[in-house]
Structure 1
Amino acid sequence: MTTSDSHGDAQPTTKQPLIERGPGFRTGLRDLPGHLNLATIGAGVIATIFGCTGPALIVIGGASAAGLSAEIIASWIFGIYVFGGLISIVMALYYQQPINGAYSIPGAALVAAALPNFSFAEMVGAFLMAGLIVLVIGMSGLVRKLADSIPFPIVMAMIAGALIRFGIDIIDSAIAAPAVVGAALVGYVVLSRFLPRVPGVLGALALGVLVAAFLGDFGSLEGGIGLSAPVLIMPAFDIGAMLAVAVPLALLVIGAENAQAMGVLMAERYDPPFNMMTIISGIGGLIAPIFGGHNANIAGPMTAICSSDQAGEDPAGRYAASVVNGVLFGLFGIFAGVTVALVTILPAELIATVAGLAMIGVLVRSFQESFSAPRFQLGAFFALIIAMSGITVFNISAPFWSLVGGVLASLLLEPGHFRAREQETTTAD
C-alpha cells in the first residue's frame, strides 16, 4: 500500500510478492467468532441492504427493458451476488481486512444501456472478455506499481469526491421523505451520543423502519420465497460488443470499484492487497458470466461501509462485517427468485440515509488526508472536483478520471513535489 507521511507523500511499504500474503484462512476463521458483535453484524447488514436494493434494481430494470426472461434475470442476479459474496468471504478471511465483493454498479448501468444493441449471448462474451482483461492486468502487478506511484492526497481526494454523493443523498432524502429520514437521524444521534458503543447507523435503521412502517411507506411484497435454478449461458463473441462493453467494463472494475475500495482501505490505515484485489476481480469476472452475471469484483461502497468506524472500534475486527455481508449476499443470490419483490420493500430514502451515515467517518478522514499536508494540494483539489462531478468519458466513470486529472494537475502545477518525494524515497532506500 501507500501510506502518508508528514508531508502527505505516498511512501511504499515493504515490497510484496505478486499475490500478497495475508494472515491466512485458519487465523481468520479462528478469530472470527470473537469479532462478531453488534457493530460488525450491523455494518454487514447495512452493506447488504445497500447492495441489494438500488444497485439490484439497475440490473433488474435494464434486463426487463431488454426483454430478458425472468429465468435469465434470476440467473444474472445469482451470478453477481453469490460470487460477489464469495469474494467477500474469501478476501476478508484470508487478509483479515474488510474487503467486500459485489459487482460494478456503474458497470450495471453501462450494460443496461448496451443490452438493446446486442444479443445476450454476445453480452456474455463481452463480460468474459472484461474479466480476462482485469485478470491479465492483475497478474501483471501493474496495479500495485500504479498505486504506489500516485500521491496519497490525490487518492484520498478521489475517495472524498466519489463518496460525497452519499452524504448529499441524506439531504435530498430528507427533503423527499422528511418524517422517515428525520426519524433515522434522531436514531443516529441518540445512539451516537448516549450509547457510543452501539453504531449510530443501527439506531438510524431501526427508528427509520419503525416510522416507515407506521406511515405505510413500505412497498408490497409479491411472490414467494424460493430457490432459483441458475442458467448456464453460452457466450458468443462480437467485436462491437467487445469495444462497447468489454473494454469499458474492465476499466470500470479497476478504475472505479477497485480504486475506491483500495483508497477507502488506505484511508482507514489498512494495507490493501492491491494485486490480489484485481486478480480476484478478474476471476469473478470469468465465473459470474457463466450464469449471465456481468461481473463479480471488489466493491467500493460496501467496502466503505464495512471498513468505517460504524463497523466497530477495533479495525482488526471489522473484517467480520465483510464476512457477514458476503454470507447475506450469497443468500440473496440463491433466493434470486424473489429478488424483485424484496428490493422494493424498504423506502429508497431510508436506504440512502443509512448508507450516507455509515460513510461519515470515511468521508471525514478522506478530506483530512487530502488537504492536511502541504504537498500535492492542487492535484488533490482537481481530483476532488473531478470525482464530485460524476463525469463519464468513453464510458469510464469519474473515479478513474479523478486520479488521472489529479496526477496531471500536480505534474503541471507542482512538479517540485514529485521531485522532493523521489529524493526522499531514494535517501530512504
Structure 2
Amino acid sequence: MRSILNDFSLSAMVAGFVAVLIGFASSVAIVFQAAQAAGASEDIIVSWIMVLGIGMGATCFFLSLWYKTPVITAWSTPGAALLATSLGDVSYPEAIGVFIFAGLLGCLVGMSGLFDKLMNWVPLPIACAMLAGVLFQFGLSIFTSMAEDVFMVAIMLLVYLVAKRLMPRYAVLLVLLAGVMCVLGRSEQAVFSMIPMQFGQLIWVFPEWKLSALIGVGIPLFIVTMTSQNIPGVAVMRSSGYQTPVSPLISWTGLTSAVLAPAGGFAFNLAAITAAICSGDECHRDPKKRYVAGLSAGVFYLIAGLAGVSVVGLFAVFPASMVAALAGIALLGTIGMNLKTAMFEDSTRDAALITFLVTVSGVSFAGIASAFWGILFGIICLLISKLQWRVGKGKWN
C-alpha cells in the first residue's frame, strides 16, 4: 500500500477514469444488443453489466498490481457484435455454454503457451475479413437509423468526423455527448429523473450444451477475441515498452470469462484503445508508475459494474435510433481497419473477400452461424490459391 501511495498521481488516476468512461460509452450499446439477441430479460441485462464491470475491475486491478504494469482488460466488443448477429436460434442457457466454452479455450491456449502458434493457424487477413463481415450490419445501422431521425444521427456523425481529426481519442465520447444533448433537447423523449439509483443483483444461469452452437458461435467468439482484441492489446503493451508475459494474461482473462459466464460475462480480453490511454506519456512520465492507471481503471470499472441498474436505466431512456447510431459509429474505425488488413495483400485478397461475403450473407448450414463458414471457406480458398501445378512433374505442390 505504501508503494502505491508513493507512485500515485492524479494524471494516472484520470487516465484510468477516462479509459473506463470511453470503454463503456463506446460499446455498451453493443453489449445490450448481444444480451437481447441471447434472449436476456432486463434483469439479466443488468446482471451482464454488473458482472462485466466486476470482471474487468478485478482483472485490471490485480494484474496491474501483480505485474506493476498498466494491464487494462475489456469485454470483447467484436465478440458482442458477433453474438448480436449469431444467437438467433440459441437459447439463453445454451449461450451461457458458448461463453464458458470460449473462455476455457482462451484459458487453455494461455496455459499451453500456444497463443502465437494458434494465431498462425488462422491467417490475420481471414480473421479480419470475418470480423469486418460481422460488424458490417452495425455500420449500416448508422444510415438505417438516420432514416428514423435524420437530424440527431447526422449531428452525431458530423461530430465524429470532426472529432476524429481534432481529438481522435475522445471521438466516440463526444459522439455520445452529442446524442445526449439532442435527447435532452426533446425532454418529452427522455425522463432522466426516472433512472433508478440502486444496486442490482447477479443472476446465475446454469449452462446447456449444444454442439452446433459451440462450433458455430463459440469458436468464432474465441477467434474474434484472440485476433481482434488480444493481439492488438499485446501490441499496445509492447509498443509502450512493457514486456509483461502474455500467456498468463491470456490465461487469467480466459479463466475469468469461464467463471463469470453464468452471470453474463461473455468474454474478457486485453484492451487496446483504452490500454493506450493508460500506457502513454500522458498518463505519467515514468513508465514504472503507470500501473496506477490500471489500478484506477479497476476501481472505476468495479463502481460502474455495481451501478449496473443505473447504467441500464440510463440507456433505456435513449431512443433506439441513437443507440444504433452510437454502436455503428463506435465500430467504424474497427470495420475500416479490418477491411484494410483483410484486403491489403494481393496473395490473400480473394480468400479474404470470400470470407467477408460469406460472413455478411448470414448463410447457415447445419445450424452453424455464417462466421464459422466464412473462416472455413476463406481458408479453403487460400489453400487452393497456394497450390501450384508443377509443369513436367505432373503433380501439385
TM superposition score normalised by structure 1:
0.65
Aligned to 2:219: 251
Q: CA deviation at 1:268?
A: 7.5
Aligned to 2:357: 385
Once the two structures are superposed, residues 71-123 of structure 1 have per-residue CA deviations (whole angstroms, 9 ceiling, x without a partner) of x765454334321443455667856476423585345787785547xxx6x98
CA distance in 2, matches of 1:83, 1:257: 16
Q: Is the 8 A contact 2:25 2:172 kept in 1?
A: no
Q: Secondary structure at the match of 2:147?
A: helix
1:127-166 equivalences in 2 (<5 Å): 131-166=103-138
Q: Is the 8 A contact 2:99 2:266 kept in 1?
A: no
Worse overlay, 176-185 or 56-65: 56-65
Once the two structures are superposed, residues 208-234 of structure 1 have per-residue CA deviations (whole angstroms, 9 ceiling, x without a partner) of 321221134754354631223546x58
Q: CA deviation at 1:181?
A: 1.2
Q: Is the 8 A contact 2:64 2:291 kept in 1?
A: yes
Q: Is the 8 A contact 2:57 2:302 kept in 1?
A: yes
User: 1:52 and 1:84, CA in 2 relative to 1: closer, same or farther beyond 3 A?
Assistant: same
RMSD between superposed Cα atoms in Å: 4.7
Whether 2:35 is the aligned partner of 1:59: answer yes
Q: CA deviation at 1:274?
A: 6.8
Aligned to 1:45: 21
Aligned to 2:53: 81
Worse overlay, 50-59 or 138-147: 50-59
Aligned to 1:298: 268
Q: Is the 8 A contact 1:378 1:409 kept in 2?
A: yes
Q: Aligned AA for 1:253?
A: L
Q: Secondary structure at the match of 1:100?
A: strand
Q: Is the 8 A contact 1:183 1:207 kept in 2?
A: yes
Q: Is the 8 A contact 1:92 1:99 kept in 2?
A: no
Whether 2:341 is the aligned partner of 1:369: answer yes
CA distance in 1, matches of 2:9, 2:374: 36
Q: CA deviation at 1:243?
A: 3.9
Q: Aligned AA for 1:64?
A: S
User: 1:201 and 1:230, CA in 2 relative to 1: closer, same or farther beyond 3 A?
Assistant: closer
Q: CA deviation at 1:382?
A: 2.0
User: 1:275 and 1:171, CA in 2 relative to 1: closer, same or farther beyond 3 A?
Assistant: farther
Query: Aligned pair count?
Result: 369
| Aligned with residue 385 of structure 2, among 405, 413, 417 | 413
1:263-302 equivalences in 2 (<5 Å): 275-276=247-248, 278-289=250-261, 292-298=262-268
Q: Is the 8 A contact 1:226 1:338 kept in 2?
A: yes
Aligned to 1:331: 303
Q: CA deviation at 1:179?
A: 1.0
CA distance in 2, matches of 1:281, 1:396: 26
User: 1:381 and 1:54, CA in 2 relative to 1: closer, same or farther beyond 3 A?
Assistant: closer
Aligned to 1:215: 186
Q: Is the 8 A contact 1:169 1:352 kept in 2?
A: yes
TM superposition score normalised by structure 2:
0.69
Q: Is the 8 A contact 2:163 2:171 kept in 1?
A: yes
CA distance in 2, matches of 1:373, 1:60: 37
Q: Structure 1: any 5+ residue segments left out of the alignment?
A: 1-25, 417-429
User: 1:241 and 1:407, CA in 2 relative to 1: closer, same or farther beyond 3 A?
Assistant: closer
Q: Structure 2: any 5+ residue segments left out of the alignment?
A: 284-289, 389-397
Q: Aligned AA for 1:342?
A: L
Q: Aligned AA for 1:101?
A: W
CA distance in 1, matches of 2:337, 2:62: 27
User: 1:340 and 1:356, CA in 2 relative to 1: closer, same or farther beyond 3 A?
Assistant: closer
Aligned to 1:225: 197
Q: Aligned AA for 2:32?
A: A
Q: Secondary structure at the match of 1:176?
A: coil
User: 1:358 and 1:111, CA in 2 relative to 1: closer, same or farther beyond 3 A?
Assistant: closer
CA distance in 1, matches of 2:71, 2:148: 36
Aligned to 1:11: none
Q: Is the 8 A contact 2:54 2:301 kept in 1?
A: yes
Q: Is the 8 A contact 2:217 2:369 kept in 1?
A: no
Q: Secondary structure at the match of 1:227?
A: coil
User: 1:91 and 1:172, CA in 2 relative to 1: closer, same or farther beyond 3 A?
Assistant: farther
CA distance in 2, matches of 1:249, 1:259: 15
Q: CA deviation at 1:170?
A: 2.2
CA distance in 2, matches of 1:82, 1:178: 37
| Aligned with residue 260 of structure 1, among 225, 228, 236 | 228
Q: Aligned AA for 2:181?
A: L
Q: Secondary structure at the match of 2:40?
A: helix
